Structure 1
Amino acid sequence: MLAATLMLIGLLCASVLMRVPYTEMSPGPTYNTLGEQEKKSGGSVPVIAISGHETYPTSGHLNMTTVQVTGAKYEPSLVSAVIGWLRKDVLVVPHDNVYPKGQTDKEAQQENAEQFASSEDSAKTAALKQLGIPVGTQIVVSSVVAGGPSEGKLHAGDRIVAVDGTPVTAKEQVAALVTKHKPGETVEFTVVPHTAAAGGTAGTNGSAGTNGSATDKAAEKKVAVTTGKASDGRAIVGILPGNDHTYPFTIDIGLQDVGGPSAGLMFSLGIVDKLTPGDLTGGKFVAGTGTISDEGEVGPIGGIQMKLIAARDKGAEYFMTPAENCSEAGKGTPDGLTLVKVDSLGGALKALDQIRSGNTSALPSCPK
C-alpha cells in the first residue's frame, strides 16, 4: 500500500509538472458594430464611422465575437489540459493548429493584424456592392521582400501608377513589365507613396480615390529599382503587387487589439445598417461571425463554440453562423441562443428581415 501510495503521489506530481503541446481557447469579448468602443486614452469612438455619405440611426446589436488564445510560449500541464477538456468554456487544441511551425507571438500578431486589415477591406467592399455603390480598384505594393532590390525604395501601401511609363491597371502587369528586363537593368516605377495615399485619396483609409486625379498627380514620384536575379534567371524587384479598393466616401473601423479575419460578416452588416433607413435588427440582439469575400460570400472560422458562449453571455438571442461551421456549432449551442445558418451577405440580410418581422420559423438553422 505504501509503495502504491508513493507511486500515485509520484504520478500526480508528474502530471502537474509535465507540459503538453496544447493551446487553450476561451470566450473573448464581443463588440457591437453599431456601437462604440472605449479608447485607451479615454473617451470612445464608433466601431464603424462613416463620413461623406448620409447615414441613418440604428438600434439593437450586431455583435462581432472573438476568442482569447494562450500565448505561443504557453504549455499547459497535463492536469490543466485534462481540466480544459472537461470544461465547456475552454477549448484545448494542438499547439501547432494555432501557432504553426514554431510561430512566435509577434509573428502571430502580425499575421492576425494583416488578416484583420484585409477583412475590413472586404467587409467594406461587400457592403457597398450589396447596396449598388461603386467600388474602385487600384494596384499597390502589398509587401516588400527583406533584402530585395526594392527594400528602402518601395514600401507596402505604395500605389503603382506605371512601370517604365506604361500605366498599370492589373497586378499581373507588374511582373510582366519587370520581366521584360534582364537582371541588373533598371526598372522605373511611378508610384503614389503610401504616406501621401493615406492622407489623400487612396483606399488605404477607406476614402475615395481614382488613379489620375489632380491630388494623385501632385503626389506621384518616380522610383528607379535595379533588378535582381531569380533562381530561374528572371529579373525580379522583390515586391508582391496586390489590389486595393477605393470608395466614394470614408468608412473607418476603429477597433483596437483585435485580429484575424472572422469579423468580416458582422462589419458588412454594420455598414449596411448605417447606410440604409430603418433598423436591420428591429432592436434585437444579434451576434455572429464569419469571414467575407469581396463578393459577399461568408466563410468558416475557428473557435465557433467559444464564440457562441461569448455571445450568449453578452445577451445575444440570435447568432449568424457560417454554413461550414453549422455542424460543429449545433453540437454546443447555449440555451436561449438561436443559430442562423448563412453563406452570403445577402442571405444574412434576408435572415435579419425575418428576425425583424418576427417570422423566425423559416430561418435557416443549423442541425443539433
Structure 2
Amino acid sequence: MSRRPLTAVAAALLAVSLGVIGATLPVPFVALGPGPTHDTLGDYEGTQIVRVEGLPQYPTTGHLNMTTVSVTDRLSLFTTLWFWASGERRVIPRESVFPSDRTDQEIQDENAAQFASSESNAEAAAVTELGLPARVLVAGVVADSPAAGVLEAGDEIVSVAGQPVASAAEVSDRLTDARPGDTVAIDYRREGTEQQVDVVLGASPDRAQGFLGVRPTVEARDGAIDISLDGIGGPSAGLMFSLAVVDRLTPGELTGGRFIAGTGSIDPSGAVGAIDGVPFKMAKASEVGAEVFLVPDANCAEAVSTAPDGLDLIRVTTLDDAIDQLDALRAGRPTAPC
C-alpha cells in the first residue's frame, strides 16, 4: 500500500479514536442547570406535599412553587464542550460538588439530611409565625458539647433553668445570665416520660453566656404538619414550604390566585438565607408560567442580572416579610424589588 492510503487510514483511525475518547471518557466536571419545580400547595405522585391534620385549614389557590438546580455528572469531553459553548449549563469542577474526600453516597446522605432539616425548619418557622401552641424539640446535638450524651434528637425540652420554654429562641434566652461552668437543670420529655438532668455549661467562642450545645426547633403541639417531597436535596425549599403551611392554616389566599415561585433556606426563627443556582431556578420558574419570584435578599444582585423577561422579582428577608410582600402584591400595593 502506498504512503498516501496508509496516511489516510491512519488519520481515519486517529479520528475515530479521538471521537470515541471524546464521547466516552469522563472529565472532572459537572454541569448545573434548571431542575424540577413543584407546587408546594399541590401533590407529588398522588400525595399532598404539605399535609395538615387536626388543625383548621382554609382553601388555597394559585401556586407556591419551590425550585431546584439539576447536576449533570459523568460528563464526556464533547458534552462538556457543548454545555460550555452553548451556555445551557454552567460547567464547574466536579470537586466543588463532589469533594474527593467524601463518597458520592455520603454527599447524597448529607443533601438528604439538609432537605429533611429544611422541612423541619419550615414547620418551625410557620408555627412560630402563626403563634400556634408548640412543643420545643431537640433537632440536633453538637458533638462533644455539654448536651452530647445527655440529650438526643427528638427530646422535648420542657424547661431550662427552671423556666418553661415555648419557642426555640427561649432555650437560649433562658441561659442569658448563665456562664461557662454553671450547672443548669434541663427538664425534658423522652418517649412520654419526663426527666430532669443537670448539665455543666461549656464556653462559646462568640458569646459570654454558657454553652449547652443543642439545636432547638418547634412543632405544632395540636395536630400534625407533615412536609414531604422525595428525590430532592439541599435546604433551599424552606421558604416555600413555610409559605405553603401558612397559606393552608390562615384565612384568605397568599397568592391571590397568582403563580408564585421562589427559593431560600429558612431557619426556625423565620430568617431567609441565601442559596445557589438562582439563575437556573428563575429560568425554570419562568418556563412553567411563574409571574413572580421570591428572592433572598443576599441573592438579589445576581437575580437582577440574570432574570428572564417578564418575571417580577421580590426581595425577602424573613418569613414574616415574605407574607407581607405577598399581601401587598395581592392588594396592589408596591412590593420590595431586588
TM-score (norm 2): 0.74
Say yes or no: does 1:302 pair with 2:310.
no
Say yes or no: does 1:125 pair with 2:133.
no
Matches within 5 A, 1:146-185: 156-158=153-155
* Structure 2 CA distance for partners of 1:99 and 1:13, relative to 1, 3 Å: same
* Structure 2 CA distance for partners of 1:115 and 1:300, relative to 1, 3 Å: same
Contact in 2 for aligned 1:65/1:288 (Cα 8 Å): yes
- Correspondence for 1:357: 331
Query: How far apart are 1:304 and its partner, in Å?
Result: 1.3
Q: Secondary structure at the match of 2:306?
A: coil
Alpha-carbon distance in structure 1 between the residues aligned to 2:314 and 2:305: 14
Contact in 2 for aligned 1:51/1:251 (Cα 8 Å): yes
Contact in 2 for aligned 1:141/1:159 (Cα 8 Å): no
Q: Secondary structure at the match of 1:346?
A: helix
Alpha-carbon distance in structure 1 between the residues aligned to 2:93 and 2:241: 30
- Correspondence for 1:253: 227
Contact in 2 for aligned 1:89/1:309 (Cα 8 Å): no
Alpha-carbon distance in structure 2 between the residues aligned to 1:127 and 1:338: 25
- Correspondence for 2:81: 82
Alpha-carbon distance in structure 1 between the residues aligned to 2:142 and 2:272: 30
- Correspondence for 1:55: 57
Over the residues paired in the alignment, what is the CA RMSD in angstroms?
Answer: 4.0
Contact in 1 for aligned 2:139/2:217 (Cα 8 Å): no
* Structure 2 CA distance for partners of 1:141 and 1:247, relative to 1, 3 Å: closer
Query: How far apart are 1:285 and its partner, in Å?
Result: 0.3
- 140, 143, 151: which one pairs with 1:142? 140
- Correspondence for 1:341: 315
- Correspondence for 2:48: 46
Alpha-carbon distance in structure 1 between the residues aligned to 2:271 and 2:30: 30
Alpha-carbon distance in structure 1 between the residues aligned to 2:273 and 2:158: 33
Q: Secondary structure at the match of 2:38?
A: strand
Say yes or no: does 1:27 pair with 2:26.
no
Contact in 1 for aligned 2:261/2:293 (Cα 8 Å): yes
Instruction: Point out the more displaced range, 330-339 or 60-69.
Output: 330-339
Q: Secondary structure at the match of 2:231?
A: coil
- Correspondence for 2:106: 107
* Structure 2 CA distance for partners of 1:268 and 1:168, relative to 1, 3 Å: closer
Query: How far apart are 1:86 and its partner, in Å?
Result: 3.0
Which stretches in structure 1 are left out of the alignment for 5+ residues? 39-43, 181-188, 197-215, 224-239
Residue by residue, what CA displacement relative to the aligned partner does 1:32-82 show, whole Å, maximum 9, x if unpaired? 1111222xxxxx222111222211101000111112223xxx432232222
* Structure 2 CA distance for partners of 1:254 and 1:15, relative to 1, 3 Å: closer
TM-score (norm 1): 0.68
Contact in 2 for aligned 1:26/1:90 (Cα 8 Å): yes
Alpha-carbon distance in structure 1 between the residues aligned to 2:129 and 2:273: 17
- 289, 308, 322: which one pairs with 1:315? 289
Residue by residue, what CA displacement relative to the aligned partner does 1:95-138 show, whole Å, maximum 9, x if unpaired? 1222234432321221122212221222122222222x146454
Which stretches in structure 2 are left out of the alignment for 5+ residues? 166-170, 198-212
- Correspondence for 1:236: none
Q: What amino acid maps onto 1:157 in structure 2?
A: G
Q: Secondary structure at the match of 1:79?
A: helix
Alpha-carbon distance in structure 1 between the residues aligned to 2:40 and 2:264: 14
Residue by residue, what CA displacement relative to the aligned partner does 1:3-34 show, whole Å, maximum 9, x if unpaired? 9x788887666654554321122222211111
Residue by residue, what CA displacement relative to the aligned partner does 1:217-248 show, whole Å, maximum 9, x if unpaired? xx46999xxxxxxxxxxxxxxxx744242322
Q: Secondary structure at the match of 1:100?
A: coil
Q: What amino acid maps onto 1:68 in structure 2?
A: S
Contact in 2 for aligned 1:120/1:267 (Cα 8 Å): yes
* Structure 2 CA distance for partners of 1:64 and 1:115, relative to 1, 3 Å: same
